[in-house]
Amino acid sequence: MTSTNYRGRIAPTPTGRLHLGHAQTFKTVYERCQRENGTLIYRDEDLDPQRCKQEFSEMALEDLRWLGIDWQEGPDVGGENGPYQQSKRMQHYLLAWEMLRNAGVIYPDTHSRKDLREVAAAHESWESVSAPHEEDEAREPLFPKQWRPPYGTGLDALEPGEVNWRFRVNDSETVAFFDMALGLTRFVADKDFGDFLIWRRDGVPSYELAVVVDDIAMSITEVVRGEDLLKSTARQLLIYRALEATPPAFYHCPLVRDAQGKRLAKRHDALSIRSLREAGKKPEEVQMLNQI
């Protein structure tokens, strides 16, 4: 029985096994939701058909239940706000794309990722990293302003088509928000991040768009996620504004790192929840393992 309007969510991407970093973040989501006597939603972020696998979607559900986390809405339990798999929510994303196009804040861009990497390498123009100690591999090229088409380009398009669509940021705008864990946090558009992807030319909506559309549609009141997504939160706030929607509260969790200080990733398979489980660890032990 839930008695408050608090709505949290767990939103893993099924591209590999969940690791200890996910266990920590999702435990925090669960605890914050429990404390508020709220509703927890499980959303499978299986948007990218090239990278996501059904096997990892199933494994994530099982591993999180094994850890002692449960949710009131999700792909395995249903609910009023489904479907809870992003791959089944394309109509919602298309509608948002249309709203952003009507608002004139996005435009089609024909440059490839390779073009972007080359120009960034030549001019040393990279987005600043958002989490403390974030390693070099997390750096992204800063989209060059001179590549922007004139304002109004593409606004007559009826569908996203086979080009990338980008959000046009206001240069030098400070995007500030109060993070429930870190306090006042700010980023500057065109320095910390440039015009960012809304829709990919291979037909897949961007993470930034999909997550905002779903958090609005599922009436999420607090987003709890890792510090590696701090800068994404700033980008997403611009999408909320363009869609004239009220953003949720945000709480960013510290990242779990390996002995070399690198944040956990798929290369750390020994630290996946499944491997620890297979090695005989108990759920309580895995939950306590936030340092390695």
Q: Report the nearest approach of ligand GLU to the CB of residue 45 (Å).
A: 4
Q: Report the nearest approach of ligand GLU to the CB of residue 191 (Å).
A: 23
CA separation, residue 59 to residues 183, 263, 281 (Å): 34, 22, 17
- In the bound state, the residue with its beta carbon closest to ligand GLU is 225
d(C-alpha 12, C-alpha 269), whole Å: 16
d(C-alpha 14, C-alpha 47), whole Å: 9
d(C-alpha 51, C-alpha 46), whole Å: 8
Q: Report the nearest approach of ligand GLU to the CB of residue 209 (Å).
A: 12
Whichever of 57 and 164 has its CB closer to ligand GLU, that residue is 57
Whichever of 229 and 276 has its CB closer to ligand GLU, that residue is 229
Torsion angles phi and psi, residue 69, rounded to 5: -95, 135
Closest to 87 (Cα-Cα) out of 214, 243, 248, 197: 214
Closest to 65 (Cα-Cα) out of 16, 15, 1, 12: 12
Q: Report the nearest approach of ligand GLU to the CB of residue 73 (Å).
A: 16
Q: How remote is the C-alpha of 209 from its chain's centroid?
A: 9
Whichever of 109 and 228 has its CB closer to ligand GLU, that residue is 228
Whichever of 229 and 271 has its CB closer to ligand GLU, that residue is 229
Torsion angles phi and psi, residue 226, rounded to 5: -75, 160
Binding positions for ligand GLU, rule: CB under 6 A: 11-13, 45, 211, 225, 229
Whichever of 229 and 242 has its CB closer to ligand GLU, that residue is 229
Q: Report the nearest approach of ligand GLU to the CB of residue 159 (Å).
A: 25
